Amino acid sequence: MQQQAIVVNEPTDATGLQLTRIPVPAPGPGQLLVKVAATGVNFIETYQRSGVYSVDYPFVPGSEFSGVVEQIGQGVQNFKPGDRVATASGVAGYSNYAVVDAELTAKVPDSVDLHIAAALPLQGMTAHYLVHSSYMVHNGDVILTYAGAGGVGLILTQLLKLKGATVITTASSQEKKDLAKAAGADYVVDYNQVAETVEKVTGGKGVNAVYDGIGKDTFDTSLAALRRRGTLVLFGGASGQVPDFNLQRLNAGGSLTVTRPKLADFLTSEQEMHWRFGDMVGWVATGKIDVRIGAQYPLAEAGAAHAALESRATTGKVILLP
């Protein structure tokens, strides 16, 4: 049986993402074949597509998707055809049908739309581990984040407010500032206003922690914003990777901590994955958090989705619909 998919044959720009036909894969032992309902579009796929990250060509991008189980592989016990599922660890999700290991898949309750569920595995669980595990936020903390209207940013702000934190974030346009404020951010400022805002809000003490997914362009500002024994969580590098720096800066800044985490290290067991995803879908189902789908594109327009993401023109989550 054939299906439609986006196949990347060599490093290319966004215009090189073309729809083609490939065989529907069969699930191996311990795997699920999922009929895809929606696929999350993420920066990692732009890096893979362009050759910044090494992949074996040809390949079909997409590890994050939601859908309905079509077929189960040998030995699968906890899933059956018809189950609604989502994952951040699938294979070839820019397609109509994709496979994933059952142990890396979570069930989606009927009360959560599958399009919303496609936005939760990567960005939702990233926000979850940031707030609950990388730096554990406490009631009354003052936290600095960036890109407050982005997919992670909007969810992160809502989780921070659930923990009782004061949130300072950034946005580059009035529309994005309005979205960040609606998510609960206490202060939404231009990037060049971060230092003065932190000074004013904290009375010169600095913030308890910074969640920084920008990297090279914001690293110095993030370090300077921290209070004594503050923590910088550098969870991404949208502007490029941070150059090597002198560790003595952490001592001079007030015994600071810098950590460079990744999601995979906070999903080290099936139980941990189900905890994080279960919290997220539960909060969505009960209305405690809202997930914004900022743009959705037909699968055939995956190139346009990549171009929009790379231009920083998007807000919330970008998804593909097969």
pTM of the model: 0.92
- For 145-166, how does the pLDDT look when each residue is reduced to its tens digit (9 = 90+)? 999 999 999 999 999 999 999 9
pLDDT score recorded for residue 289: 96
pLDDT (mean) for 242-265: 96
CA nearest neighbour of 143 among 203, 266, 226? 226
Q: Give the three-class secondary structure for 31.
A: strand
CA-based nearest residue to 99, from 187, 29, 47: 29
The stretch 101-117 carries a mean pLDDT of 96
| pLDDT tier for residue 237 given thresholds of 50, 70 and 90 | confident
Q: Which stretch of 185-189, 235-239, 297-301 has the lowest confidence by average pLDDT?
A: 235-239
Q: Which residues pair with 18 in a beta bridge?
A: 7
The type of residue at 297 is Y
User: To the nearest whole percent, how much of the chain has pLDDT over 90?
Assistant: 93
pLDDT at 28: 97
State CA 303 to chain mean position distance: 19
pLDDT tens for 311-322 read 888 899 999 999
CA quadruple 277, 96, 292, 83: dihedral, nearest 10:
-40
List, in order, residues 6 or more apart from 216 with CB less than 8 Å away: 237, 239, 240, 241, 242, 243
* Separation of alpha carbons 268 and 247, rounded Å: 29
Mean pLDDT, range 73-92, rounded to an integer:
96
pLDDT at 43 over 90: no
pLDDT of residue 313: 82
pLDDT for the residue 312: 82
* pLDDT-based confidence at residue 245 (cuts at 50, 70, 90): very high
Whether the Cβ atoms of residue 93 and residue 105 lie closer than 8 Å to each other: no
**pLDDT mean across residues, the chain:** 96
297 CB-near residues (< 8 Å, 6+ apart): 41, 304, 305, 318, 319, 320, 321
Residues 265-293: pLDDT tens digits? 999 999 999 999 999 999 999 999 999 99
Confidence category of residue 9, pLDDT binned at 50, 70, 90? very high
**Residue 53 pLDDT:** 87
Give residue 52's pLDDT. Answer: 83
Judged on CB neighbours under 10 Å (0-12, 13-18, 19+), 243 is: exposed
Using the predicted structure, report yes or no on whether residue 180 has a pLDDT greater than 90. Answer: yes
